[in-house]
């Protein structure tokens, strides 16, 4: 059986607070959203007795999320460069994804904790709608759930890294006695 063909058709982003705050919804202004990509970094190893080098994975590159909102949004722009009142800024992105084979809609949800590091108002030009480009960096927590299934969970504080349902840091955390045991948010 073929994998489902899910396409995103609508999205919303809450910056600094969640869906409980009706004043923080950006569903009317969100025009673009790029969730963090996972990019494994490698270094070359040139063994002294081997004529061929190999690559050794060392880490996953830092995470970044970018988005654009139409016009200016003071509530979001005011978050630039700071950590929230509880020591973190929380961002929640929700999407409607649709299975193109069955027509059924489902939810995609990403939860991030990081710092709003860019608020860049773009040029205004008559006849066009001005927008502001944003970036979230310094991400210390990222969870992505698609159609009810957890795809990614990474948490810096607990050293948790779950990808596709597999706790990739379980052995490391056990050996280091960190106390982390596949913590989910």
Do residue 137 and residue 156 come from a single domain? no
Do 153 and 78 fall into the same domain? no
Shared domain for 76 and 101, answered yes or no, is: yes
Q: Are residues 3 and 21 in the same domain?
A: yes
pTM to 2 decimals?
0.88
Q: How many domains does the chain have?
A: 2
Q: Whose CA is closest to 63, among 82, 39, 47, 41?
A: 39
pLDDT in tens, 16-28: 877 777 778 999 9
3-state secondary structure of 175: helix
Q: Dump pLDDT digits (tens) for 76-134.
A: 998 888 876 555 689 999 999 999 999 999 999 999 999 999 999 999 999 999 999 99
| Domain with 6 in it | 1-36+62-147
Q: Name the token pair of 28.
A: 């009317």
């Amino acid at each position: 059986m073929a994998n489902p063909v899910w396409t995103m058709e609508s999205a919303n982003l809450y910056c600094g607070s969640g869906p409980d705050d009706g004043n923080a919804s950006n569903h009317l202004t969100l025009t673009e959203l790029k969730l963090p990509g996972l990019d494994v970094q490698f270094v070359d190893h040139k063994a002294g007795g081997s004529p061929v080098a190999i690559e050794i994975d060392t880490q996953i590159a830092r995470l970044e999320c970018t988005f654009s909102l139409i016009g200016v949004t003071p509530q979001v722009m005011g978050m630039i460069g700071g950590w929230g009142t509880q020591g973190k800024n929380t961002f929640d992105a929700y999407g409607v994804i649709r299975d193109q084979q069955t027509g059924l809609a489902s939810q995609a949800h990403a939860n991030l904790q990081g710092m709003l590091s860019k608020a860049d108002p773009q040029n205004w030009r008559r006849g066009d709608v001005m927008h502001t480009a944003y970036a979230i960096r310094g991400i210390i927590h990222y969870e992505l759930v698609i159609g009810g299934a957890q795809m990614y969970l990474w948490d810096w504080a607990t050293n948790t890294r779950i990808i596709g349902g597999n706790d990739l840091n379980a052995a490391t955390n056990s050996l280091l006695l960190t106390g982390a045991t596949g913590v989910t948010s």
